[in-house]
Amino acid sequence: MFSLAYMSWLLWWLGFPQQAVQKSQEALTLAQEVSHMYSLALAPFYAAGVHQLRREGQAAQARAEEVLALTQAHGFPFWQMWGTICWGWAVAEQGQAEEGLAHMQQGLAAYQAAGAQRGVTWQLGMLAEAYGRSGHPDEGLTVVAEALATVHTTGERAWEAELYRLKGGLLLARSPEQHTEATACFQQALAIARRQQAKSLELRAAMSLGRLWQRQEKTEHARQLLTEVYTCNGEPSSDEERTR
């Protein structure tokens, strides 16, 4: 079951968001069949993660609530902290910024207080994104700086490309005059994603850079970049991802 659940995340990273959902559903089905309590908590957590990656706030919230119900009843504190963070991101994504940020901060503080490090860069990335969406780019940039420092400390680089993309977006949100720095961030995100063969993160970086170039009337540059990336991507991205 764990292999199926983990594979769902890998498939998203490799550019197969639809297959990621399918594999996640297989993990959920198997967890129900074996009726193993830890698996029943783990499978919906990974499913929530897939929906978070696809930016499907409502679906991520529903799965996170499953995780929280099971962990509160049966005492799986690790997954409870993750569930709290994911739930916070999901409600923030749906417009409840303050409530979402509060839950994300609560879950992240508990996670770090427990000495856990695995996945912290992803968690911080979610928090930075939520700050940006709620109109707090400076706070988001502070979180991104912490996340990038953690990347270099722990060597956990799976989310590095996205952190640079988020940094570029937050710089632009703070001041459109910082377009040179933002461009450098998007280009770095693109280079890292390509080096890692992380197709979904490559697409995100290309879309952010392409939108900036369009605003700068570099339409042909944007068209060439997005055509190249879309041609090489494994599957179409979700509507939520394409519109962000």
Distance between CA atoms of residues 169 and 24, nearest Å: 30
Domain boundaries, the chain: 1-116, 126-244
Residues 6+ apart with CB under 8 A from 159: 121, 122, 125, 147, 151
Q: Using N-to-C axis directions, what is the helix angle for 160-174 and 199-215, rounded to 10°?
A: 20
Residues 6+ apart with CB under 8 A from 177: none
Give CATH for domain 1-116.
1.25.40.10
Q: DSSP states of 71-89 as a string?
A: HHHHT-HHHHHHHHHHHHH
Distance between CA atoms of residues 20 and 102, nearest Å: 29
Distance between CA atoms of residues 16 and 138, nearest Å: 33
Q: Are 77 and 40 in contact (CB under 8 A)?
A: no
Distance between CA atoms of residues 149 and 153, nearest Å: 6
From first to last of the 244 residues of the chain, give the pLDDT tens digit: 889 998 999 999 999 999 999 999 999 999 889 888 888 888 999 999 999 999 999 999 999 999 999 988 888 888 899 999 999 999 999 999 999 999 999 999 999 999 888 899 999 999 999 999 999 999 999 999 999 999 999 999 999 999 999 999 999 999 999 999 999 999 999 999 999 999 999 999 999 999 999 999 999 999 999 999 988 776 666 545 544 5
Tell me if residue 178 falls in helix, strand or coil: helix
* Res 92: pLDDT: 96
* Res 234: pLDDT: 64
Per the structure block, which two tokens stand in for 129? 């994104």
* Res 238: pLDDT: 54
Query: Which pTM value belongs to this model?
Result: 0.93
Nearest to 13 by CA among 171, 178, 162, 181: 162
Domain 126-244, CATH among 1.20.140.10, 1.25.40.10, 1.10.10.10, 2.30.40.10: 1.25.40.10
* Res 239: pLDDT: 43
